[in-house]
Chains A and B, each alone.
Chain A
């Protein structure tokens, strides 16, 4: 079965640079979620989109923005990167329109800021 795809899997950036993370949800899934997991931490919700509209917002810094496109893929844009942004970034998807509450996670993008 198709899973959530994230790219790139690993990314190394320097402080103050920008980064773009991409997420391709499971086919037919209409909701995308972004989570950040710091070293040894639990995942923290950043932001979500349902049918291309922002649906919920968590602890996402103002330096970050995200959107969901017409093909349902999503991108997380991160600017003015800081050392503390180094983390695993997960995308998850679900099929909310059929009241499915199963969220499936991608393999994550490991961002390292030096």
Chain B
């Protein structure tokens, strides 16, 4: 019940394309859903996060879509650029102090010029 399933494992798009990464969770107690971007040799950096009281959130070129009934959420990257090439992780947690993040398996995104 603590798992977060992420797909696809890898994704290749052309510059300007809109890669979509999907995640599904089991634990209905989760109430915080962040996405992280990780470059090789670096720690993850928070991209955008959503709470289950909204169905969509946009920050710049990044959009999270959230479907509470389906227990799914996804990341869309608009007008993707080669600099977006990185590994993306979805995660989920319960919004109480000290609770852990449960990570998805990660998606390696390559944006070709």
A pairs with B: no
| Interface set of B (CB-CB < 8 Å, partner A) | none
